[in-house]
Each structure stands twice: as structure tokens, then as C-alpha cells.
Amino acid sequence: MSNIPHYFLYGEELPESSPDYMHIARLEQSLPKHNWEIHPHRHDDLHQLMILESGSMTAQIRESSAEYQGGCVLSIPAREVHGFVHQPGVTGFILSISQPFILSLFNESERQALSSLLREPLVIPLTEGRHIVELKALGERLLAEYQGRESGQASMIGAYLKIVFISLSRQIQHREPTQPSDAKTALFEKFTALVEQHYHQHWSVNEYATALGLSQGQLNRTCQRSADQQALEIIHGRIVDEAKRLLIFTQLSSKEIGYQLGFKDPGYFSRFFTRHVGQAPKQFQQQLLKEQVQPPK
């Protein structure tokens, strides 16, 4: 697990050029250059959706592998280890969306309703033909908007993505999706659910471990196995995601954001953010003013 690459987009160890970054491509156009195989890796700040229209593939998510046929969607949150082997000729879309951009699309109650989709790796079967047609049409619209560079592009992309995520959430409600995990990873999913509830309160690793009936060592081993990260890295990653979202999509000052995220000292929040992002909060905001959603170079 320690040798698993951390990528922005697969094969490119590059920093994000824009925090509200979104990328979309047709599978049949992007996969041949990789010989139809994507080796196990993870993205620290990207949620990926793979819409598999036709063909078959084998997916490795965490430590489980399974084969899937066309007519399904794989939803892979940030920091989840995953890899794929596709049969030549598969068709569909791969969407890569930054976590802060996704979080900005939904209010708090909506994020709670979408929590399983946003937090857990899922395989969602599309058993009705109309669902495949609808998602294919949305994929085509997203691709055209992404490539078009028209005014209001980010708003249009966000609107289409909201429809995609809500549509998938409804599919989950109507049937039990396949979870590519086993009983051993259930603790990790409980841990990430607790992080979502308590990251504002700055719970320590020990507090999370106690709530789960584990020692700190057991919790860290669980996180290492499932996400190739220590528990504290996952906790801090969620705080950073929320800080980015607030910096990008609200008018709150850095000081106000620090307080909202549970930091009693604004200076400590600034140092925390700088340590994890490589820029001070104000620098991060200023850079955003100069940037738009950019395709990968």
C-alpha cells in the first residue's frame, strides 16, 4: 500500500491548477493510450465517476476485485485506492471532480442525504434502459460544456453535476448498490462517517478510536489498509476540503473560516492550511481570482 501512487489525474503527478477543477473524457478515447489498464492509485482531492455504457471491466477498489458489465456507474470518492482493467472497446465516460467543487454544489442537508455516495466507493447498477440513456445524455452535455469554453461554464457544469449526483442518489435509494468492500472495511466506513460528523470539533484520533471501540493502533491500521493513510491524515484532509470550499465559495474571511472550523486561534488555522496546501488562505483566495476551470495540460 505504501507504494501506491497519489495522482491528480491518472499518470500525472501534478498539482491542481484550479480548486474547482473538473475533467471529463470518453473511456474509448482516453484508455487506449494506457493499454486499457489503470494501475492501482488514488487521488487526494478528486471524486471520480465512471459511467460504463457497454463492455466489461475488472475493478480493484481497496483490496477487493470484481468484474462489471456495461450499464453501471462506479463512484469513487477522494483518497480511495482503485485500479481498472478494461476489455478493449468499452464505452462510457470518466469524470474527475475536485472535492471542494462537489461540496459547493449542495447545502448541508443535501450533503447528508448524499453522504453514502460522497463518502463510500459504490457500484450502482442501472437496470432500466432509460437511466443509461439519461446518464449518457448528461455525460455528452458535460463533455460539450467542458470543451466549449462558453460564459457561465462553471455554473453549467455544476448544474449538470448536481443532476448526475442526485440521479445516482435516487438509484441508491431504490435499490441496494454493490459496495466493493468486505466486512473488514466496515470500520473504515464508520470512521469516515464519524469524521463527517465531528471534524468541526477537532476530535483526536483517540476519541475516534474510543467511539469505534478500537485502539489508536487498530484505527490507524484500518485506515492504512483502506485508504493508504493514517487516521490523522484523513481527519485533516476533511478539514482542508471544507476550508477550501469556504474560501472558494463564500465571502467569509480567513479568520471567520478558522472559527467556523473550530480553530480558536486564527493564526493556527492559517499555519494549518499553509502546511497542508502549500499556500496561506489569503494567497489561495487571490490565486483563485486569476484562475478558471482548466483542462489538464
- What confidence tier does 36 reach under pLDDT thresholds 50, 70, 90? confident
pLDDT bin (cut points 50, 70, 90) of residue 2 is very low
| Domains 22-174 and 183-289 belong to one CATH topology | no
Among residues 95, 90, 292, 120, the alpha carbon closest in space to that of 190 is found at 120
**Between 233 and 44, residue with greater pLDDT:** 233
pLDDT average, residue stretch 35-60? 87
What would the mean pLDDT of 238-254 be, rounded to a whole number? 89
Fold of 22-174: Jelly Rolls (2.60.120)
Read off the pTM. 0.68
What's residue 4's pLDDT?
46
Q: Which residue has the higher pLDDT, 115 or 203?
A: 203
According to the model, what pLDDT value does residue 187 have? 85
Position 178 scores a pLDDT of: 53
Highest mean pLDDT pick, 121-130, 166-175, 241-250, 270-279? 270-279
CATH class of 183-289: mainly alpha
Domain extent listing, the chain:
22-174, 183-289
| Contact (Cβ atoms closer than 8 angstroms) between residue 72 and residue 126 | yes
Between 161 and 39, the higher pLDDT residue: 161
pLDDT interval class at 51 (50, 70, 90): very high
What pLDDT digit, counting tens, does each position of 77-128 carry? 887 888 889 889 899 999 999 888 898 899 888 888 888 888 888 889 887 7
Query: Does pLDDT of 146 surpass 80?
Result: yes
